[in-house]
Amino acid sequence: EPVWLFNTSIKQRLAIASMNGSCKLLDEHLHFADTLDHYLSDTNENYTVIGVLGKTGVGKSTIMSLLGGRESSVFRAAGTESEAAKHKTSGIDCYVTAERTILLDVQPLLSASVLDNNISQSEQSKKALDLKYHENNVHMQSIELACFCLSVCNVVILVEDWFFDPNLIALVHTAEMLLPNMAECDQAYQHRTHLIYCLNKCGPIAPLDLKMMKSVYANFMKDSKLQVKGSLHSDINSGSSACFLKARRGPREPDEPNFVALPSMDPAEPSGETGGLNGVTGMKRLVRALSRELLSIKVNTGQSGQALTEKKWFVYANRVWDTIKKSSFISEYSRLMT
Amino acid sequence: MSNEPNICVVSLIGKSQFSQNDTKAWKLNSLLQKNVFKHDSSLSEKSVKNLNLQECDQSGSKPDNFHLKTHLDQKNRVMYIHFESIYDSGHLFDVLVNKFDEETDFYELWEDEQLKYVKTILFLFSISHLIIISNPTCEFDISYIRLFRIVDLLRSKIQPSVVELLKSLDLSINKDWIYAGRPCSPRVLFTFENCQPNILKSSQSIEKLQHSLEDQIYNSLRKSYVITNISNNSLFSIPVNQEFVYIHRHNHQITNASRFLLSSFNNHSVETTSPSVDLEQFRKFIFQHVQTALSVGFNDNIGRTNIPPIFELTTPTIWNKIYQSLFEFFLCEPKTQKVMSIYAQLKDQIDIDVQFSERRCKKVLPQAINLYQESLPAHYSKDQHEQKLQLAIDYFQLNARGPKYNLYLDQLKSKCDEIWQNGRRLCESVSLTGQNCVHELHYLMNEGRAEDELEESEQTRTEKSNRIEENTLLLNQKAKNYKIPTKTHSSGILTISASNCGEFQRERKDPFDLKEANLDFYKEFEGVELIKNKMVKKYIFKHAEESEFIYPMIHSECPLNSKSEFDSWSLVSIGEYSDYYPSSGLSQPGFMTSHNFLIPWELHVCNGQVSSLCSKQWSKKNSEKSKSKNSVELLEKKGKTVTIKAYIGLEYECPLGHRFICSGPDRIVRLFNNGSVKDDAYKLLNCDMPLYTACPCRNTKESPSYMAQAMRVFIVTPPGLVAEKGDDKKTTTVNICIKPQVQPNPQPCPVFWPSFEDSIVLEDNSIWVLRLPYIYMGDDQKPYYRPKNFETLNSCKILKSMFSVVANN
């Protein structure tokens, strides 16, 4: 009886506590936190995990909040503290939407502000760090976070607010190389991670330049096993709003790099609802389109891997983080840093 | 020349935001208040030409990859250098899009670009007083810290060579400069862009952010020992009492309208500061440092120290000479071994991914090879090789990582292949009975080659036999010390077989060659056969005299007049009729007790006609049960009939040499108590006989019985001249004929026979032994193996009507 089944699924969904704001998946000391478990279903296998990576103040939290369907309240953005050149998100913040999208807002990668914190913390505790140099420590931490995201997310959005920092993209390369061997785990969760490059706060870009940028991204990720192409229905040549993502029904272009350009939030028109001047679509509308795109990405669980329930995913994520922290690959790598 | 003023050298490096048809050089243009640095390749060529740097072209380097542009501002006594690198989108597009294709090895390209970048940075730090590091955002990029450390390490290693070079130039510059390898510890300034609009609203906020960044930068550089108290010892210095961070108040964006689809895009950012004000402030920021440089020089030592900082200025002419030689030194092919080895070490530090991958793969490779070798027999087949290789590859896949993965994976494959090829490779020839040769890959005697024509004969041999794939040659050449031995094949299986006549038995090696199996083995008995047997008459099978169709064996699918290369069959006579004693059977070795009796075959001669058990009526059972008209007639006839007795039998031979006669399909000859043969010849004459039957030698439940193969047909022909009982006393000559036809496999399979003769008329009064082929082989060199399952086994048969009888008056 389909009606009855439908009702139970509704009931089950209603039984899960809904979130008012984000909670921690990794706390500020990068320890795995239990809070999220409370908000996860032990029956639902139909969900998407989206993570975001990028440097300080590129708009990670803002984009994730918009993907969460809320105003900027879900994840706190760094903007307010930017006078002190400080980051806002420490560890990983997490929010589960009503559509069962698990959003992970990750602390900034390669961040000078995190480096600052680490230095002052180690001065307070007078504890010798494993690594000779603090910034190598931050680098390794960034690799670990990226490894984690690539392991547990279906979609990872790499955000930059300028084009483009090879060092950051190289970090994704490194993270992919150092991914933990989860095949040894009893609950192998095989999936292909989609990596989407998001150029945030950009001005208008000529189609030719956009094409170049996409090629740079695709060529840089040439040897990657991540899904860096063909995940989006984006079309760059759709008239005047050329440069920005434009959702379009139709077959996905298999070779089209996963590249999204988002304009700056218009301070004069904070709602971001109307199409800006000359057809440049508002930020919020674009993020909504992006959100639809991301939800329509086929989340495959691989040949052998069964779909995990939300709660099982949580257990898996915990194990991934433990494995990363103990990874011999990562420690071997860190010893090579001069 | 002498009144040329000294200059301050300012270099602009760093990363820059993508901007249409423009680079970060707009900053220098704004300092110059002129559009000097253009994104125009012809200009860069010009500036290179101005500096007479064409020598680089000749020495083989690619100056087009070094995007260094210089300009002398004579008025302000400043030499500007702009370095455009892969961190600037123009150059990035060029390297990663224009010059990139499917074949490009990304990591190689990336390492190369990084190497050039580091060398160029050190070059600029060795000739500049001021370095401006451009940041496209408002965050300090911590990846600079590692870069600085690497550049500093390179500087300390390469300094002696730089000092040598500067000495050799013999220029009128201070010795301090020469021995330091640089005019000063350059002062580094940082510029930031794209500040949050809400901060740009107030200059107070900007100042706050500026100070935060200064603190952050200073702190992290100090903690990582990039800057120290004594500026002479550091790669660069940071001013103690002057601002070294500038945040651009205006988001600079030169928009080239022609490149847009949108012709009038409006930048929405709130402009609190007009571009001109920003540029004015920027000029002020830079020029305060330039002024210090041109007047008192930099003293960026921290705390009390007695070591005065080195700070030297010189004229554009002298500086240009230094620039030229150092450019060549750093950015063209290194000239000394020492510098080359320094650059090699630098490579390791630059790309940790490659280094990690290299180490990881090097560690995993031997483990994977061990896994491959684990519990492998001395010689093993291609299948085993591939199976184990896959195991090793799986292990490698799980544990090896990174850019060097494919390289080492290939090594793993070729290494394992080499192990296999070099003496571990099983011969894999299959014997004609379907057994593998147990030897390593080897040559055969007749394929043997002289040592000196090794290479050539190898090739011809390889082409001759298809056992070796094309790549073998290559691999064998790789490991020349391994020589493929020469020996005969062996499956290690020995069987016992009797001679043509059946009088002798001998061990037989599992054959790999048809002639060996069906002719040569038996030929070796010839000598003893002649001695033992009273008379050995050999029947010569009649083949077409000349035939263009020559086959290994003759069978039903050969054209009518074809010939076999040699006889795989043999038909000999080993005695007279009287030499066979029906009461004791055949007295040949290997026969199992009481299974050595031939079956009597009565031939009835009447009126010049001969009849035998060829129809149902003659079956004993029937003749007793029904006394039909026919039988009465026959009984009448009987009075006039002369009966002569022939003896026939089909002999099976098992691998252990056991032999027995069968009287019918799977029916071993049986005796009455009195010792006479119980069976009659009916089945033998009228039924297809199986080619294979179970040997009674091992008839237990635990192990399957050995399969015996039909090997010989015995025909004892009675004296053929028969005097009839009739009144006319006429004589009739009776001859037995045979027409052996063997179908060694289920359909579709040809029927084998010794020759295209109609049927062979056997001489009378003899003991004839027809020896059947040991191996049946078709034209494709593939033998018909004995089937493994029982049902198909039954379809391997000797066709009925082998025996017949003819009478001549």
- Of A16-25, B202-211, B560-569, B745-754, least confident by mean pLDDT is A16-25
On the question of pLDDT at A223 being above 70, the answer is yes
Cis peptide before A164 (omega within 30 of 0): yes
Residue B340, Cβ neighbours under 10 Å: how many? Answer: 11
Q: How many CA atoms lie within 13 A of B130 on its CB side?
A: 28
Which helix (H) or strand (E) element contains residue A336?
none
- Name the 3-class secondary structure at B759: coil
Residues B513 and B672: beta-carbon distance below 8 Å: no
Q: Do B96 and A201 touch (CB under 8 A)?
A: no
Smallest Cβ–Cβ distance between B89 and the set A163, A173, A333 belongs to: A163
Partners of residue B346 in chain A, C-beta under 8 Å = none
Q: Do A115 and B259 touch (CB under 8 A)?
A: no
pLDDT of B351 reads: 85
- Of A48-57, A81-90, A277-286, B247-256, least confident by mean pLDDT is A277-286
In whole numbers, what is the pLDDT of chain A averaged over residues?
Answer: 78
With an 8 Å Cβ cutoff, is B90 touching chain A?
A: no
pLDDT band per the 50, 70, 90 thresholds, residue B624: very low
Whole-angstrom CA distances from A314 to A33, A187, A266, A320, B355 are: 10, 12, 37, 10, 34
Crossing angle between the packed helical segments A134-152 and A166-177, to the nearest 10 degrees: 60
Partners of residue B224 in chain A, C-beta under 8 Å = 133-135
How far is it, in rounded angstroms, from Cα B67 to Cα B700? 90
pLDDT of B312 reads: 93
Over range B112-140, report the average pLDDT.
93
Q: B369: closest CA among B420, B427, B441, B423?
A: B420
Q: For residue range B75-120, what is the model confidence (pLDDT) as tens digits?
A: 999 999 999 888 988 888 888 888 888 888 888 888 889 999 999 9
With an 8 Å Cβ cutoff, is A235 touching chain B?
A: no
pLDDT of B445 reads: 76
On the question of pLDDT at B307 being above 90, the answer is no
pLDDT of A45 reads: 83
The interface predicted TM-score (ipTM) is 0.89
Q: Residues near A285 by Cβ (< 8 Å), separated by ≥ 6?
A: A272, A273, A275
How far is it, in rounded angstroms, from Cα A63 to Cα A69? 10
B362 vs A62, higher pLDDT: B362
A143 vs B65, higher pLDDT: A143
Chain B window 133-172: which residues touch A at a Cβ cutoff of 8 Å? Answer: 136-143, 145-146, 149-150, 153
Provide the pairing of β-strand B642-653 with B599-606: antiparallel
Q: Do A329 and B401 touch (CB under 8 A)?
A: yes
Which helix (H) or strand (E) element contains residue A195?
strand A194-202
Partners of residue A55 in chain B, C-beta under 8 Å = 137, 139
CA-based end-to-end distance of chain B: 140
Give the CA dihedral B633, B637, B639, B641, nearest 10 degrees. Answer: -150
pLDDT band per the 50, 70, 90 thresholds, residue B316: very high
Residue that has been written with the tokens 């001489």 in this structure:
B763
How far off is chain A from B420, nearest CA to CA, in Å? 30
Minimal Cα distance from B267: which residue of A? A203
With an 8 Å Cβ cutoff, is B212 touching chain A?
A: yes
Residues B384 and B368: beta-carbon distance below 8 Å: no
Q: For residue range B689-700, what is the model confidence (pLDDT) as tens digits?
A: 999 998 888 766
On the question of pLDDT at B631 being above 70, the answer is no
With an 8 Å Cβ cutoff, is B353 touching chain A?
A: yes
- Of B423-437, B578-592, B760-774, least confident by mean pLDDT is B423-437
Testing the interface with B: which of A333, A334, A337 to mutate, by most B Cβ within 10 A? A333
Q: Do B142 and A333 touch (CB under 8 A)?
A: no
On the question of pLDDT at B761 being above 70, the answer is yes
Chain A window 10-49: which residues touch B at a Cβ cutoff of 8 Å? Answer: none
On the question of pLDDT at A290 being above 90, the answer is no
pLDDT band per the 50, 70, 90 thresholds, residue B474: very low
Domain layout of chain B by residue ranges: 8-349, 566-607+644-808
Minimal Cα distance from A135: which residue of B? B142
pLDDT of B466 reads: 38
Most confident of B86-95, B144-153, B425-434, B608-617: B144-153
Phi and psi, residue B778, nearest 5°: -85, -170
Chain A window 80-139: which residues touch B at a Cβ cutoff of 8 Å? Answer: 82-86, 110-113, 115-116, 119, 133-136, 138-139
Minimal Cα distance from B221: which residue of A? A135
Over range B715-729, report the average pLDDT.
81
For the domain spanning A2-335, the CATH number is 3.40.50.300
pLDDT band per the 50, 70, 90 thresholds, residue B427: confident
Q: Residues near A64 by Cβ (< 8 Å), separated by ≥ 6?
A: A50, A52, A74, A75, A95, A103, A104, A105
pLDDT of A121 reads: 80
On the question of pLDDT at B634 being above 70, the answer is no
How far off is chain B from A83, nearest CA to CA, in Å? 4
Chain A window 145-164: which residues touch B at a Cβ cutoff of 8 Å? Answer: 161-164
In whole numbers, what is the pLDDT of chain B averaged over residues?
Answer: 83
Q: Do B142 and A277 touch (CB under 8 A)?
A: no
pLDDT of B60 reads: 39
Position A107: which residue type?
Answer: Q
Residue that has been written with the tokens 């080993």 in this structure:
B574
Residue A122, Cβ neighbours under 10 Å: how many? Answer: 15
On the question of pLDDT at A270 being above 70, the answer is no
Partners of residue A242 in chain B, C-beta under 8 Å = 261-262
Residue ranges with strand state E in B518-641: 537-538, 550-551, 563-564, 570-573, 599-606, 609-611
Position A92: which residue type?
Answer: I
Q: Which residues of B413-424 are buried (b: 16+ CB within 10 A; e: fewer)?
A: eebbbebbbbeb
Q: Do A215 and B266 touch (CB under 8 A)?
A: no
Partners of residue B352 in chain A, C-beta under 8 Å = 174, 333, 336-337
On the question of pLDDT at A63 being above 80, the answer is yes
Minimal Cα distance from B357: which residue of A? A177
B181 vs A276, higher pLDDT: B181
pLDDT of B627 reads: 45
On the question of pLDDT at B548 being above 60, the answer is yes
Q: Do B224 and A134 touch (CB under 8 A)?
A: yes
Testing the interface with A: which of B262, B399, B406 to mutate, by most A Cβ within 10 A? B262
pLDDT of B356 reads: 94
Over range A228-235, report the average pLDDT.
74
On the question of pLDDT at B618 being above 60, the answer is no
- Name the 3-class secondary structure at A166: helix
- Of A314-318, B142-146, B238-242, B247-251, least confident by mean pLDDT is B247-251
Most confident of A65-69, B360-364, B376-380, B417-421: B360-364
Whole-angstrom CA distances from A102 to A292, A295, B486, B487 are: 14, 11, 69, 70
Residue B435, Cβ neighbours under 10 Å: how many? Answer: 18
Position A301: which residue type?
Answer: T
Tokens of B371: 């896994």
Smallest Cβ–Cβ distance between B143 and the set A164, A167, A177 belongs to: A167
How far is it, in rounded angstroms, from Cα B520 to Cα B570? 12
Minimal Cα distance from B140: which residue of A? A112
Residues B68 and B50: beta-carbon distance below 8 Å: no
Residue A8, Cβ neighbours under 10 Å: how many? Answer: 11
DSSP letter string over A17-82? PPPSS-EEEE-TT--B-SGGGGG--SS----EEEEEEE-TTSSHHHHHHHHTTS-TTSS--GGGGG
On the question of pLDDT at A60 being above 50, the answer is yes
B428 vs B585, higher pLDDT: B585
With an 8 Å Cβ cutoff, is B496 touching chain A?
A: no
How far off is chain A from B126, nearest CA to CA, in Å? 22
B255 vs B692, higher pLDDT: B692
pLDDT of B2 reads: 56
Crossing angle between the packed helical segments A112-125 and B203-223, to the nearest 10 degrees: 60
pLDDT of B251 reads: 67
On the question of pLDDT at B296 being above 50, the answer is yes
On the question of pLDDT at B292 being above 50, the answer is yes
pLDDT of B66 reads: 58
Q: How many CA atoms lie within 13 A of A201 on its CB side?
A: 22
Q: Do A332 and B359 touch (CB under 8 A)?
A: yes
How far is it, in rounded angstroms, from Cα B245 to Cα B209? 10
